[in-house]
């Protein structure tokens, strides 16, 4: 449902870049958990780094740092700057 | 549940709800004090803590709900918390909120408010928030939320009276006007659906607005409630679906997303009016530390260094501490020995030997206390500082490839990744893993780690059979178990655990902050105490069973007579040797001899543990004072006769010792356990185990320590010449044809062997099922036995030596593990399939 340009998945954002969450493709428990931790549509998000083995990734949402796996980050559609 | 008589409620039910790490438990402890008890919620493994206190003549029953991020129905904890709220209808909900991350906590508060409960917000960790530069306008927050907000610092007990007052006031005040969460464009639809639900019988038991909101949101639990009450295809469900569809068609946005957006805007609005935030210095410090600690190349080094430091401090230094600690335990044993009936000449009274056996079993476990105190303190430091979450972050990919979770690290470390640890606290630590499948896999594989008690057995066998390759063999044992554990975890998650619930890895990386001495100390003592309590009782109980199985039916009459004859002969020799001395009459009586032997042994034992001339002198003085009559035979100075008695006594004691050993061996080999060990030989021969090893393995089930003790009794030829157990076993091994290959098979079996009884009980506690407990015993035994057979029979067939076979086996396991891990990464991560996609398009 996000058909515009410059849309990609959170997992494709390079460390150090910012993006804005557009929508979730996650459902059920995963979606709820992401929402609980602040991955709410329209929120600004910054990808900080990847773990040494490439997965998971660390993001900064609101005021705190959250780590999530690529598989979950792939479910979040973002609009990058 | 509540008594709402005219005079007002005399009894209140309060539910304590909040997110994980908001300080719910400390608030609970603060409210209820010591008056609390822990049980399981019926049917599930989640802890139910409840307690009560009196306030203004009201008895307040407080239930600590599981910490959850929200009140949806996705995880077990969430379901438990929500079911409690719906079915028990507490009079007041105390929502514990972490003041330092207020915005996120508000989502939870909204959900409780939406359910229509009277709420008191306990704004906890105000001190942390203040330190972070966050200031909260309490009256504005109270005004916005429409509920009482009490600032607390749970750790320091601040805000206790205020909170108790607020609970009583909120319960007494029947009418309350909490914050109304508006869903803007959806409001008319919600209102209409609410009206419709109000006319149904559901209105009696459930808050109707909440049901309406949840139905439109597509919450499966709400749909279940409504369809149970009104039928599967009832009007409200159909109406909700229609509302959703219509909204989504016209707004190009899912209803749940829209609702979340509404709540988020409200939370943002509240935060902007009530909270002022100064820039936090800790943010910068945390970022600076993370730049190094989480650096792609430096991270693994830091991790290894951390594990190494933990190992060095707890295991190596902790072992050094046990040299001071063990004498204390030895004293306890001596005290017990003094209280119990005295030893006999040849055989001890049953009560005495059993009592001492129990004390010895307990001591073997208590000996680890210094190690555990250090280990648990270090782990508490890691947890409190925030590095533990980073470890999970670094290792998640690796663990995930095997079906585990980044948070499996802590249980593995506690279980003894390299060497030394204990499966019991390890299994306890799996509690925090949110992913049910990974949690089960972790619980079932932690026992593969090398617990402290396995080490003496390994050391023994390695010293006997792999002396030239000591370090290689030790490295082999301490690392092979990790690979095996990973492979087993993969196997289990791909088979028996396949259908378990999984959860996404979404974890907060907290800011670093220095741990407090009190917090760390408290946790370390608490965990050590849990270990002592949980393990102690069980191990002692089982040790009694093992003792009985080793003791009965006892040796035959002829053998008994034979031993007695030998002892009589030794006593006769003793008499003959001292006949010419002036003390001959003193020892006419057998009781006098026994008492003399006991004093002699006590003195000898005491001397072994005393160091230095000063201490020896003091010891001698003490014995001289305690046993004025007998002391001269212990240290005969110029008394020639006493010297002769001393010499004869030494001979007698040595003969007695040897006879007692023989009796013991005879007893074990003819005992029930011995019979089982023998009857297993036809099967276990394929793994190269003889009956002695079988008995050692069987007896080690109670606690691993007993394996070495049992082996010690069984391999005892030469014990009198003060040969070490290693030498004795080596010598006998040569005669009995035991080879390094045998030893390798035994060691590997021992490494894969099921957890000890205490750990299996812990598995029962953490999984909540006897089925898994039995599985945790049967599966590793089978796996261990098959592996041992492969090593022994396979090694023999290929004519490989022990060390060669060790290399082959190691290579095979490591290769399999690496391939499994890589294969998984190539395949890519399958998306975790949600159990139910709540009605979305």
Residues of B in contact with A74 (CB under 8 A): 831
Q: Hey, is the C-beta of A52 within 8 angstroms of any chain B C-beta?
A: yes
Residues of A in contact with B104 (CB under 8 A): 36-38, 62, 64
**Of A26, A47, A55, A75, which to mutate for an interface test with B (greatest number of B Cβ within 10 Å)?**
A55
pLDDT band at B10 (very low <50, low <70, confident <90, very high): confident
Instruction: Look at residues B678, B708, B672 and name the one whose alpha carbon lies nearest to residue B692.
Output: B678
Element at B570 (helix H, strand E):
helix B557-578
**Is 70 exceeded by the pLDDT of residue B708?**
no
pLDDT band at B442 (very low <50, low <70, confident <90, very high): very high
At B732 the pLDDT is 62
pLDDT band at B489 (very low <50, low <70, confident <90, very high): very high
Tokens (6 digits) for B345: 């000449």
Residue of B nearest to A53 (CA): B397
What average pLDDT score do residues B668-690 get?
Answer: 84
**Is 60 exceeded by the pLDDT of residue B692?**
yes
The shortest CB-CB distance from B264 to any of A29, A40, A58 is to A40
At B191 the pLDDT is 84
What average pLDDT score do residues B46-59 get?
Answer: 80
A29/B834 touch (CB, cutoff 8 Å), yes or no: yes
**Of A25, A28, A41, A78, which to mutate for an interface test with B (greatest number of B Cβ within 10 Å)?**
A28
In terms of residues, how long is chain B? Answer: 841
3-state SS, residue B3: coil
Q: How many whole angstroms separate alpha carbon B494 and alpha carbon B441?
A: 10
**Is 90 exceeded by the pLDDT of residue B696?**
no
**Is 90 exceeded by the pLDDT of residue B811?**
yes
Q: How many whole angstroms separate alpha carbon A72 and alpha carbon B400?
A: 13
3-state SS, residue B788: helix
pLDDT band at B143 (very low <50, low <70, confident <90, very high): confident
At B487 the pLDDT is 92
The answer for B125, left when phi > 0, alpha when psi is -120 to 50, beta otherwise, is left
At B841 the pLDDT is 32
Percent of chain B with pLDDT over 70: 87
pTM: 0.75
**Is 60 exceeded by the pLDDT of residue B1?**
no
Which segment of B319-323, B532-536, B807-811 scores lowest on mean pLDDT?
A: B532-536
A46 to chain B, closest Cα gap in Å? 14
pLDDT band at B833 (very low <50, low <70, confident <90, very high): very low
The shortest CB-CB distance from A66 to any of B277, B506, B831 is to B506
A56/B297 touch (CB, cutoff 8 Å), yes or no: no
Residues of B in contact with A54 (CB under 8 A): 397
pLDDT band at B827 (very low <50, low <70, confident <90, very high): low
Q: Hey, is the C-beta of A56 within 8 angstroms of any chain B C-beta?
A: yes
**Is 70 exceeded by the pLDDT of residue B523?**
yes
A60 to chain B, closest Cα gap in Å? 10
Residues of B in contact with A31 (CB under 8 A): 256, 834
Instruction: Look at residues B541, B464, B538 and name the one whose alpha carbon lies nearest to residue B755.
Output: B538
**Is 90 exceeded by the pLDDT of residue B388?**
no
What average pLDDT score do residues B727-745 get?
Answer: 71
- pLDDT tens for each residue of B285-307: 888 888 888 988 898 899 888 88
CA torsion B123-B129-B130-B131 (nearest 10°) is: 150
Residues of B in contact with A58 (CB under 8 A): 294, 393, 509
pLDDT band at B6 (very low <50, low <70, confident <90, very high): very low
- pLDDT tens for each residue of A41-54: 888 899 999 888 88
What average pLDDT score do residues B58-65 get?
Answer: 86
At B829 the pLDDT is 46
- Mean predicted lDDT score pLDDT of chain B: 79
Residues of A in contact with B70 (CB under 8 A): 32, 35-36
What does DSSP assign to residue B153? Answer: B
**Is 90 exceeded by the pLDDT of residue B422?**
no
- pLDDT tens for each residue of B90-111: 888 888 888 877 888 888 888 8
At B734 the pLDDT is 56
Q: Hey, is the C-beta of A46 within 8 angstroms of any chain B C-beta?
A: no
Cβ pair A58, B286 in contact under 8 A: no
What average pLDDT score do residues B29-41 get?
Answer: 71
Q: How many whole angstroms separate alpha carbon B162 and alpha carbon B660?
A: 69
At B828 the pLDDT is 47
Residues of B in contact with A78 (CB under 8 A): none
Which segment of B190-194, B345-349, B837-841 scores lowest on mean pLDDT?
A: B837-841
CA torsion B215-B216-B220-B226 (nearest 10°) is: 20
At B836 the pLDDT is 39
Q: At what angle do helices B220-230 and B235-251 cross, to 10 degrees?
A: 150
- pLDDT tens for each residue of B606-634: 777 677 778 778 877 777 777 777 777 76
**Is 50 exceeded by the pLDDT of residue B646?**
yes
What does DSSP assign to residue A27? Answer: -
At B835 the pLDDT is 40
At B41 the pLDDT is 64
Cβ pair B455, B421 in contact under 8 A: no
The shortest CB-CB distance from A30 to any of B107, B253, B504 is to B504
Residue of B nearest to A69 (CA): B505
At B730 the pLDDT is 65
What average pLDDT score do residues B9-20 get?
Answer: 81
Which single residue is written with the structure tokens 């001596």? B334
- pLDDT tens for each residue of B449-484: 887 778 778 888 888 888 888 888 888 888 888 899
pLDDT band at B712 (very low <50, low <70, confident <90, very high): low
What average pLDDT score do residues B582-587 get?
Answer: 70
Q: How many CA atoms lie within 13 A of A52 on its CB side?
A: 21
The shortest CB-CB distance from B508 to any of A40, A43, A66 is to A66
């Amino acid at each position: 449902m996000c058909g515009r340009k410059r849309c990609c998945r959170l997992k494709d954002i390079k460390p150090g870049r910012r993006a804005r969450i557009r929508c979730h493709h996650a459902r059920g428990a995963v979606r709820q958990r992401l929402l609980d931790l602040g991955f709410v549509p329209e929120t600004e998000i910054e990808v900080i780094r990847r773990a040494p083995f490439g997965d998971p990734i660390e993001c900064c949402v609101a005021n705190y740092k959250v780590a999530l796996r690529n598989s979950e980050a792939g479910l979040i559609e973002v609009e990058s700057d | 549940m509540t008594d709402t008589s005219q005079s007002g409620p005399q009894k209140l039910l309060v539910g304590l709800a909040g997110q994980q790490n908001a300080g719910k438990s400390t608030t609970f402890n603060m409210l209820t004090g010591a008056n609390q008890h822990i049980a399981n919620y019926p049917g599930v493994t989640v802890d139910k803590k409840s307690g009560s206190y009196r306030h203004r003549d009201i008895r307040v029953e407080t239930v600590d709900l599981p910490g959850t991020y929200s009140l949806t129905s996705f995880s077990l904890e969430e379901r438990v918390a929500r079911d409690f709220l719906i079915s028990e209808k507490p009079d007041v909900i105390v929502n514990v909120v972490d003041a330092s991350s207020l915005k996120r906590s508000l989502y939870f508060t909204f959900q409780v408010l939406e359910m229509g409960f009277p709420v008191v917000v306990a704004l906890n960790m105000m001190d942390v928030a203040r330190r972070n530069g966050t200031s909260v306008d309490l009256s504005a927050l109270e005004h916005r939320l429409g509920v009482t907000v009490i600032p607390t610092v749970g750790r320091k007990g601040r805000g206790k009276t205020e909170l108790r007052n607020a609970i009583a006031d909120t319960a007494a005040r029947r009418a309350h006007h909490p914050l109304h969460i508006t869903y803007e464009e959806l409001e008319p639809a919600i209102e209409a659906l609410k009206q419709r639900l109000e006319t149904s019988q559901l209105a009696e038991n459930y808050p109707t607005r909440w049901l309406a909101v949840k139905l439109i949101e597509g919450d499966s639990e709400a749909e279940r409630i409504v369809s149970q009450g009104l039928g599967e295809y009832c009007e409200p469900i159909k109406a909700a679906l229609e509302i959703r569809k219509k909204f989504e068609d016209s707004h190009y946005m899912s209803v749940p997303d829209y609702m979340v957006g509404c709540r988020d805007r409200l939370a943002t609005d509240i935060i902007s009016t009530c909270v002022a935030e100064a820039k936090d210095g800790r943010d910068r410090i945390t970022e600076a530390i993370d730049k190094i600690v989480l650096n792609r190349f430096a991270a693994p080094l830091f991790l290894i260094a951390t594990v190494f430091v933990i190992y060095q401090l707890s295991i190596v230094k902790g072992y050094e501490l046990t040299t001071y600690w063990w004498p204390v335990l030895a004293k306890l044993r001596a005290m017990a020995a003094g209280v119990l009936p005295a030893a006999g000449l040849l055989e001890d009274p049953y009560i005495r030997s059993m009592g001492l056996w129990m004390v010895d079993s307990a001591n073997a476990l208590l000996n680890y206390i210094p190690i555990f105190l250090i280990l648990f303190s270090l782990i508490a430091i890691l947890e409190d500082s925030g590095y533990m979450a980073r470890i999970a972050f670094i290792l998640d990919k690796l663990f995930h490839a095997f079906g585990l979770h980044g948070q499996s690290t802590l249980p593995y470390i506690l279980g003894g990744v390299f060497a030394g640890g204990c499966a019991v606290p390890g299994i306890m630590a799996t509690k925090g893993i949110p992913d049910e499948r990974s949690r089960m896999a972790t619980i079932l594989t932690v026992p593969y780690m090398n617990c402290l008690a396995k080490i003496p057995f390994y050391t023994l066998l390695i010293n006997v059979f792999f002396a030239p390759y000591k370090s290689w063999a030790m490295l082999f044992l301490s690392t092979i178990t990790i690979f095996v554990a990973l492979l087993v975890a993969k196997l289990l998650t791909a088979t028996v655990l396949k259908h378990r619930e999984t959860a996404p890895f979404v974890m907060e990386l907290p800011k670093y902050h220095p741990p407090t001495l009190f917090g760390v100390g408290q946790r370390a003592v608490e965990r050590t105490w849990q270990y002592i309590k949980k393990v102690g009782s069980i191990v002692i109980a089982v040790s009694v069973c093992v003792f009985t199985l080793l003791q009965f039916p006892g040796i035959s009459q002829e053998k008994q007579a034979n031993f007695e004859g030998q002892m009589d002969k030794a006593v006769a020799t003793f008499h003959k040797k001292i006949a010419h001395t002036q003390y001959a009459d003193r020892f006419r009586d057998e009781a006098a001899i026994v008492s003399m032997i006991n004093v002699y042994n006590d003195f000898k034992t005491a001397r072994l543990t005393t160091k230095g001339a000063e201490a020896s002198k003091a010891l001698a003085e003490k014995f001289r004072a305690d046993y004025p009559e007998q002391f001269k035979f212990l240290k005969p100075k110029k008394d020639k006769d006493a010297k002769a008695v001393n010499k004869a006594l030494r001979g007698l004691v040595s003969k007695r010792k040897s006879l007692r050993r023989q009796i013991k061996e005879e007893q074990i080999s003819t005992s029930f356990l011995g019979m089982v060990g023998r009857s297993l030989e036809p099967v276990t021969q394929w793994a190269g185990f003889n009956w002695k090893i079988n008995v050692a393995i069987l007896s080690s089930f109670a606690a691993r320590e007993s394996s070495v003790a049992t082996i010690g009794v069984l391999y005892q030829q030469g014990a009198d010449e003060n040969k070490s157990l290693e030498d004795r076993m080596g010598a006998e091994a040569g005669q009995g044809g035991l080879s390094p290959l045998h030893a390798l098979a035994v060691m590997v079996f021992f490494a894969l062997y099921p957890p000890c009884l205490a750990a299996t009980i812990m598995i029962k506690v953490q999984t909540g099922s006897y089925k898994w407990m039995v599985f945790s015993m049967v599966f590793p035994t089978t796996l261990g036995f098959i592996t041992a057979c492969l090593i022994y029979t396979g090694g023999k067939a290929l004519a490989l030596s022990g060390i060669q076979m060790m290399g082959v086996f190691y290579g095979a396991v490591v290769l399999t593990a690496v391939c499994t891990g890589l294969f998984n990464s190539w395949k890519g991560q399958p998306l975790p399939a949600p159990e139910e996609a709540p009605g979305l398009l």
